[in-house]
């Protein structure tokens, strides 16, 4: 009788926390408000080399967290959200790179946000939490990167709202960045994207249990949050993906002639909404979607990506053919602006049927592009 094939050891990671901006040294936000203390949850994989030159900062999308890859415990059954991309021998190879992923300011996965306790009052921040922007998120991240002793990042990588952070990092701290990989993102939210976010916010605020954001001692707006997630999930998929995955197939086998949900796609959305309620905070969704709506690198008739300081930064901009939330023309606008700086800019539209979420799914072409680009950056900057 043959012995069972041994399973590979799990890659274990540890969630860490960094607190800064202790009063009176608070951090000023773009709104003019002051915030502090601020705690950021983060995780690292790999080792920082002696020159501290092999760091790759991964920025997560709006509902993501710092748990990008690996497992937090031996008992975990699901790895981090980008485990297919990040790890030993993978496209972002943690045998080579020191990977950092930080939970964004305003979120609910360990970093300071509306679900945190306001130390000045001893109560939840809720809607007394100040409005934050993508710029504020990046400013907070820089405090942590400085704390880690990293003065120059080999690369920034992020998709969707994470891609917005990539671009904001380049605009705000170009001298700290060697290269950047914005995926499935935009330099400003379109009216359509703002509209979907507003409908999601209204779904939460219309739930009586939202209680003007003061719900932490009760059940909270579970129905509104689930509907908000359902709305968002529709924008993450594509017509082709829905047709392939669900078509008009029935969930129960026959029509019910009531409103219980006859179709598989309805059942899927209900499931996604319920899962989301179990892990995310409704107020955080309000704050982060508003930050994404405020994001605009082309405000006041200019374009902040057109900046001679960005000439030394290399870019790999990637879009996906079926992404209708941030369609390819928006990535091409980013490329066009960056080329005006004389920047080294590579662009690729990947043919993928899964819509906006395609950047999160295993894809051999995406993995090859990112792996090859990072290897080129290492070679050009003589990084071991």
User: What's the first-to-final CA gap in the chain, in angstroms?
Assistant: 46
Q: Pick the catalytic residue from 66, 111, 116, 160.
A: 160
In the residue annotation, 331 being an active-site residue is answered as no
pLDDT of amino acid 78: 93
Q: What is the pLDDT of residues 34-63, one digit of tens each?
A: 999 999 999 999 999 999 999 999 999 999
pLDDT of amino acid 371: 98
Distance CA 307, CA 68 (A): 31
Q: What is the pLDDT of residues 120-176, one digit of tens each?
A: 999 999 999 999 999 999 999 999 999 999 999 999 999 999 999 999 999 999 999
Adjacent-strand bridge partners of 188: 296
What are the residue ranges spanned by the domains of the chain?
16-189+296-380, 193-291
In the residue annotation, 160 being an active-site residue is answered as yes
Q: Pick the catalytic residue from 65, 323, 331, 357.
A: 323
Same fold, 16-189+296-380 and 193-291: no
Q: Pick the catalytic residue from 53, 66, 356, 357.
A: 356
Considering the domain delimited by 16-189+296-380, tell me its CATH architecture.
3-Layer(aba) Sandwich (3.40)
Tell me the CATH class for 193-291: mainly alpha
Distance CA 15, CA 18 (A): 10
pLDDT of amino acid 242: 86
| Structure letter (DSSP) for residue 308 | G
Distance CA 176, CA 313 (A): 9
Q: What is the pLDDT of residues 314-345, one digit of tens each?
A: 999 999 999 999 999 999 999 999 999 999 99
Bigger pLDDT: 195 or 265?
195
Adjacent-strand bridge partners of 158: 59, 182
pTM: 0.96
CA angle 213, 138, 159 (to 5 degrees): 85
In the residue annotation, 356 being an active-site residue is answered as yes
Res. 3: pLDDT tops 60: no
């Amino acid at each position: 009788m043959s012995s069972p094939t041994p399973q590979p050891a799990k890659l274990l990671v540890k969630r860490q926390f960094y607190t800064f901006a202790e009063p009176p040294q608070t951090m000023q936000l773009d709104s003019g408000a002051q915030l502090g203390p601020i705690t950021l949850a983060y995780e690292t994989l790999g080792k920082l080399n002696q020159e501290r030159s092999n760091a790759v900062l991964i920025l997560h999308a709006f509902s993501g967290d710092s748990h990008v890859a690996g497992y937090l415990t031996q008992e975990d059954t699901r790895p981090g959200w980008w485990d297919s991309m990040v790890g030993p021998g993978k496209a972002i190879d943690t045998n080579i790179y020191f990977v950092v992923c930080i939970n964004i300011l305003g979120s609910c996965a360990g970093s300071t946000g509306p679900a945190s306790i306001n130390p000045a009052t001893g109560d939840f921040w809720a809607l007394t939490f100040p409005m934050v922007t993508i710029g504020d998120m990046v400013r907070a991240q820089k405090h942590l990167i400085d704390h880690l002793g990293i003065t120059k990042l080999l690369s920034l990588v992020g998709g969707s709202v994470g891609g917005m952070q990539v671009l904001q990092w380049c605009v705000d701290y170009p001298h700290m960045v060697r290269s950047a990989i914005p995926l499935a993102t935009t330099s400003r939210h379109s009216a359509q994207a703002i509209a979907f976010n507003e409908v999601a916010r209204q779904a939460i605020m219309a739930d009586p249990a939202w209680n003007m954001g003061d719900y932490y001692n009760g059940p909270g707006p579970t129905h509104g949050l689930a509907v908000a997630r359902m709305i968002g999930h529709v924008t993450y998929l594509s017509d082709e993906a829905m047709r392939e995955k669900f078509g008009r197939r029935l969930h129960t086998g026959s029509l019910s002639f009531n409103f219980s949900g006859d179709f598989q796609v309805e059942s899927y959305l209900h499931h996604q909404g319920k899962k989301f309620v179990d892990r995310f905070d409704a107020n955080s969704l309000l704050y982060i979607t508003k930050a994404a709506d405020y994001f605009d690198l082309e405000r006041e008739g200019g374009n902040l990506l057109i900046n001679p300081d960005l000439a030394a930064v290399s870019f790999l901009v990637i879009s996906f053919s079926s992404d209708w939330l941030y369609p390819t023309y928006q990535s091409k606008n980013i490329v066009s602006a960056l080329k005006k700086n004389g920047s080294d800019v590579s662009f690729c539209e990947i043919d993928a049927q899964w819509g906006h979420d395609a950047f999160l799914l295993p894809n051999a072409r995406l993995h090859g592009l990112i792996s090859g680009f990072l290897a080129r950056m290492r070679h050009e900057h003589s990084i071991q």
